[in-house]
């Protein structure tokens, strides 16, 4: 049996957006599931859209996420070069072959003539004008150095059908197909031509890409047929939407992989979430490691319907991955977020211990603990808590005693501080909450904070803790 060969063929136009990363991931997973090869090809023939540094971002993102390609520009392989602009000469040769066989033709039409063609719903359809030029005239004009493009000669009758593994049989009337440009006037191939030539020459037998290519694929199939080449298997993926109406798109500035990393999402969570954007495993599991994805991925699980990029769900998944980190892993990863804000002055291990199970993204760290450095006056109604049966009166009674206990604590750590508070509750003959709640409010001035009174006190240190208790007590007078 021939080995399965899939590919990811991004255009280097900026950061790798979510849709692109999903194409890479699915193509990789499908290849690996079938002991096949996954190839990276850079499609840089549209020089106008080229962005400096974008190729390196593609390499780095795939490398970081573990989507390893077996062949590609920076890793080599038997089917190179893997960068389209370096394959320029190949395309002309194949385009000429199509001209010979009547499947393509030279077109010398000026921009002016093209603009004079009738506008049908915003598009001007080429009218095959140059198809009828004699061979001699074409020769003469080429020799005279006239500017030209090469167009595909589409059949005008009949229809073209192909099978897509997700969307089923797709049929298009040939009369709907325009004589698209294969070679541009700068000698470069269009994407529409290059993708077919490259996929064939690179032995790609399975093409996985976004649904936006579903309707152009009949044109590509006509090219495969014209050359007498075997068509690949097609797997088109559903669109990724921002909401019910709008597609997620990097042109609209929607999130790229890089943006998500900067916001404090973990790569494993991002990959896990992206895998679920248009695919679900038979067992409906949601949290899946990369190895589990490799084992579970199948074409049957790809949905036809659009999927909505849900930042809330991504954050939830991210929190699960964060909770799973060892304290060392968490501390390492959290370091830049801690070191770049006021938290650098606190005990990092304590900060990490307090925050690890309480954030969904690393970006939240900075805001979640701001009360450590900001302590503005607050409403005494914060002491009201029906469940703990506390209010300002309870606080007035309990806080001086908390201060006394804390002043005498043997060791300033969570354990001892907690024991001191529990002991106080015991002595007063009240439930722990009656002491813990007012103490935490007094130390933070906030209804909700990560960590309880003793954890907060440990981080604040003795001096600041006693000072805050004094302030809170004075505020109750």
Point out which residues bind ligand GLU (CB under 6 A): 9-11, 43, 191, 195, 209
Give the nearest distance from C-beta 303 to ligand GLU in angstroms. Answer: 19
As a whole number of angstroms, the distance between CA 76 and CA 57 comes to 18
Strands 5-8 and 37-40: parallel
Q: How far is CA 192 from the centre of its chain?
A: 26
Nearest distance in Å: CB 44, ligand GLU: 9
| Active-site residue flag, 37 | no
Could you give the CA distance from residue 128 to residue 126 in angstroms, rounded to a whole number? 6
Is residue 458 within 8 A of residue 369, CB to CB? The reply is: no
Which listed residue (128, 250, 294, 313) is catalytic? Answer: 250
Residue nearer to ligand GLU on the CB measure, 191 or 227: 191
Rounded to a whole number of angstroms, the minimum distance from the CB of residue 343 to ligand GLU is 40
Cα angle 1-8-270, degrees, rounded to a multiple of 5: 115
Strand 181-183 relative to strand 168-173, pairing: unpaired
Residue 136 CB, nearest distance to ligand GLU (Å)?
Answer: 38
d(CA 265, CA 270): 7
Exposure of 414 by Cβ count < 10 A (0-12 exposed, 13-18 middle, 19+ buried)? Answer: buried
Nearer to ligand GLU, 195 or 414 (CB): 195
Q: Minimum CB separation from ligand GLU for residue 155, in Å? A: 23
Spatial contact of 179 and 128, defined as CB atoms under 8 Å apart: yes
Of 28 and 371, the one with the shorter C-beta distance to ligand GLU is 28
Q: How far is the CB of 34 from ligand GLU (least distance, A)?
A: 19
Q: Give the integer Cα–Cα distance in Å for 379 and 283.
A: 50
Q: Which is nearer to ligand GLU, 12 or 281 (CB)?
A: 12
Residue number with CB closer to ligand GLU (51 or 447):
51
Contact 263, 22 (CB under 8 A): no
CA-nearest of 259, 362, 359, 364 to 316 is 359
Are 388 and 421 in contact by the 8 Å Cβ rule? The answer is: no
Spatial distance between the Cα atoms of 66 and 57, rounded to a whole number of angstroms: 14
User: In degrees, to the nearest 5, what angle opens at C-alpha 255 toward C-alphas 252 and 260?
Assistant: 165
Shortest distance, CB of residue 323 to ligand GLU, whole angstroms? 36
Cα separation, 416 vs 69, whole angstroms: 54
Tally of helices (H runs) and strands (E runs) in the chain: 19, 13
Min CB(415)–ligand GLU separation in Å: 56
- In terms of CB distance, is 4 or 354 closer to ligand GLU? 4
CB closer to ligand GLU, 43 vs 360:
43
Q: Which residues are within 8 A (CB) of 155 and not within 5 positions of it... i.e. 6 or more apart?
A: 174, 177, 222
**Choice between 16 and 226, CB closer to ligand GLU:** 16
Comparing every residue's Cβ against ligand GLU, the nearest one is: 209
Residues with a known catalytic role: 250
């Amino acid at each position: 049996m021939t080995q399965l060969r899939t590919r990811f063929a991004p255009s280097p136009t900026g950061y790798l957006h979510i849709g692109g990363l999903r194409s890479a991931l699915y193509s990789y997973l499908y290849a690996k599931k079938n002991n096949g090869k996954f190839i990276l090809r850079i499609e840089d023939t549209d020089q106008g859209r080229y962005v400096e540094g974008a190729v390196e971002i593609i390499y780095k993102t795939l490398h970081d996420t573990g989507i390893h390609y077996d062949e590609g520009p920076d890793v080599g392989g038997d089917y190179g070069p893997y960068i389209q602009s370096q394959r320029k000469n190949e395309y002309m040769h194949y385009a000429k072959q199509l001209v010979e066989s009547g499947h393509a033709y030279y077109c010398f039409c000026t921009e002016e003539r093209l603009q004079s063609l009738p506008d049908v719903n915003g598009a001007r359809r080429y009218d095959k004008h140059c198809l009828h030029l004699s061979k001699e005239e074409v020769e003469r004009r080429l020799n005279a150095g006239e500017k030209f493009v090469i167009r595909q000669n589409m059949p005008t009758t009949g229809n073209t059908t192909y099978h897509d593994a997700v969307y089923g049989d797709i049929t298009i009337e040939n009369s709907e197909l325009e004589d698209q440009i294969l070679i541009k006037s700068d000698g470069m191939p269009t994407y529409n031509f290059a993708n077919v030539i490259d996929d064939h020459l690179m032995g790609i037998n399975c093409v996985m890409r976004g649904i936006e290519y579903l309707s152009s694929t009949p044109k590509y199939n006509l090219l495969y047929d014209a050359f007498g080449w075997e068509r690949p298997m097609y797997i088109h993926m559903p669109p990724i939407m921002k909401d019910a109406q709008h597609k997620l798109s990097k042109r609209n500035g929607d999130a790229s992989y890089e943006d998500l990393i900067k916001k404090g999402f973990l790569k494993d969570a991002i990959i896990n979430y992206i895998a679920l954007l248009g695919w679900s495993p038979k067992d409906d599991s949601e949290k899946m490691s990369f190895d589990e994805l490799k084992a579970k991925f199948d074409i049957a699980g790809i949905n036809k319907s659009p999927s909505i990029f849900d930042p809330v769900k991504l954050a939830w998944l991210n929190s699960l991955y964060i909770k799973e980190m060892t304290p060392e892993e968490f501390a390492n990863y959290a370091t830049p977020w801690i070191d770049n804000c006021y938290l650098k002055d606190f005990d990092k291990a304590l900060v990490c211990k307090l925050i690890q199970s309480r954030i969904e993204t690393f970006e939240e760290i900075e805001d979640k603990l701001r009360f450590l450095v900001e302590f503005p006056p607050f409403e005494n109604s914060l002491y009201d808590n029906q469940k703990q049966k506390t209010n300002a009166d309870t606080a007035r009674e309990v806080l001086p005693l908390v201060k006394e206990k804390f002043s005498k604590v043997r060791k300033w750590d969570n354990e001892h501080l907690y024991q001191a508070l529990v002991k106080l509750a015991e002595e007063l003959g009240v439930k722990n909450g009656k002491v813990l709640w007012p103490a935490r409010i007094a130390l933070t001035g906030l209804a909700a904070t990560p960590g309880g009174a003793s954890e907060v006190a440990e981080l604040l240190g003795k001096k600041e803790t006693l000072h805050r208790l004094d302030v809170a007590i004075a505020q109750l007078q």
